[in-house]
Amino acid sequence: MDVTVTVNGTTYERDVEPRKLLIHLLRDDLDLTGSHVGCDTGNCGACSVLLDGVLVKSCMLLAVQANGTSIETVEGLSEDGELTPLQQAFNEHHALQCGYCTPGMLMSATALLRENPSPSEDEIKRALQGNICRCTGYWNIVEAVKSVAK
């Protein structure tokens, strides 16, 4: 089936099988490998992207369901090579150890801060509930998000 998606401002057209998950369209067909496959069961959140501004796990969506949508992935956060304040905060607070969960953490935190620029610590933790860090480095991740909360 023909699918047209706009990812980080660029429009792509691809012919995909209905059984293909959105994460595999992004990674395998569009070569956008920033979004990760962590668990493949919908639990870990490493594949989180914004679909028309809504945070979703791209392993629980068919690529054909994304037809006509605008998608934001971790590759689209920085502009002209400049890290966003949130990305910079992850760097400064050592909010990543192996880094595998980081793309999903950044997308979830980005979605939170857009909706609520001044989240409490509890709100930050709840917003990151769907993202698992198997290094268990949650403390610094929460500290990084807190540091950019207004």
- If one asks whether residue 126 binds other proteins (CB under 8 A), the answer comes out as yes
Taking CB under 8 A as the criterion, the residue among 59, 86, 145, 149 binding other proteins is: 59
Where are the strands (E) in 18-142, listed by range? 48-51, 54-57, 70-72
State the residue for tokens 């999903």: 104
Stretch that binds other proteins, among 5-13, 39-47, 91-99, 136-144 (CB under 8 A): 39-47
- 35-73 in b/e form (b: 16+ CB < 10 A) is bbbbeeeeebbbbbbbbeeebbbbbebbbbebeebebbb
DSSP 89-120: HHHHTT--SS-SSHHHHHHHHHHHHHH-SS--
Count of residues in contact with other proteins, rule CB under 8 A: 29
User: In the structure encoding, which two tokens stand for residue 76, read together?
Assistant: 């689209």
Q: What is residue 74's three-state secondary structure?
A: helix
- If one asks whether residue 35 binds other proteins (CB under 8 A), the answer comes out as no
With contact defined as beta carbons under 8 Å apart, do 5 and 72 qualify?
Answer: no
- If one asks whether residue 105 binds other proteins (CB under 8 A), the answer comes out as no
Query: Minimum distance between the CB of residue 131 and other proteins, rounded to whole angstroms?
Result: 8
Query: Minimum distance between the CB of residue 23 and other proteins, rounded to whole angstroms?
Result: 9
Query: Minimum distance between the CB of residue 57 and other proteins, rounded to whole angstroms?
Result: 5
- If one asks whether residue 55 binds other proteins (CB under 8 A), the answer comes out as yes
- If one asks whether residue 27 binds other proteins (CB under 8 A), the answer comes out as no
Which residues form the interface with other proteins (CB under 8 A)? 1, 17-21, 40-42, 45, 48, 54-57, 59-62, 64-65, 108, 111-112, 126-127, 129-131
